[in-house]
Amino acid sequence: MEITDFALDAFSLAGKRALVTGGNTGLGRAFTVALASAGADVFVPSIAEDDGETEQLVTQRGRRYASMRADITQPGAPREVVARCVEELGGIDVLVNSAGICVLADVTEFDRSHWDPMLAVNMTAAFEMAHAATAEMIRQRSGKIINIASLFSFLGGRMSPAYAATKAGIVGFTKAYCDELAEHNIQVNAIAPGYFATAITTATRADADSNRRVVEHIPAGRWGDPADLMGATVFLASPASDYVNGHVLVVDGGYLVR
């Protein structure tokens, strides 16, 4: 593409098919709605029953929404999810590995009962989803994989060594997959969100001292809103990022620089 050919259509996802794990709650819902707003049809697997809210947000934008109940940590489930996405939407062009959990416990109490479930969801399921989607993307000679990392990909992370370990692992996995898949015209990148105002941060935001410590560390002076992630999602899913590969896009209001 010549520079004279560039247009905002490069950010369009019209006709694309996206699969978003964890895509009907929290930040995952923002990823789903962002992709639909840019023109993509969206498939969302969920371990919980779908409440219909995400579907409404997608269909209001004139896009198709499909979902299924699935526990992507179970053997064979990621392959079944990708196959169902292909069946429902006709293919898969974008995978967002958004599903994740964070269990907190003091270091002396944090044992395998905490560690194993987090590795299963945050790391192994993301790998298996990407592995299954890759087969489809190689066949069509195009695709986008967006893994969700975290500030704790770079920081220690008190009370949850497994969260920090899995999110650091996601960065390594992103770079490794990029290195092998770039020749197939598949771009693999990650988004690392900072501190966002979602249900899982309610207690921190409600505590005046904890809230102050977080906000004072953010140059932007506020918690992130899920909508702040939507532009990054569309960029990494769209043709505008075709030469961006193996990158971790931090969306944190400047937290890491302070």
Helix, strand or coil, per DSSP, at residue 160: coil
Task: Give one DSSP letter per residue of 71-114, joined into a string.
Answer: -TTSTTHHHHHHHHHHHHHS--SEEEE---------TTT--HHH
Q: Give the number of C-alpha atoms closer than 13 A to the C-alpha of residue 100, restricted to the C-beta side.
A: 25
Residue 55 CB neighbour total at 10 angstroms: 18
Give catalytic status of residue 163 as yes or no: yes
CA–CA dist 64, 88 (Å, integer): 10
Backbone angles phi, psi at 200, to 5 degrees: -75, -10
Q: What residue has token string 């569309």?
A: 234
CA–CA dist 82, 85 (Å, integer): 5
Backbone angles phi, psi at 112, to 5 degrees: -65, -25
The DSSP secondary-structure symbol of 196 reads B
Residue 13 CB neighbour total at 10 angstroms: 25
Catalytic residue among 163, 177, 195, 255: 163
Q: What residue has token string 């990621």?
A: 78
Q: What residue has token string 């298996």?
A: 128
Q: Write out the catalytic residue numbers.
A: 163
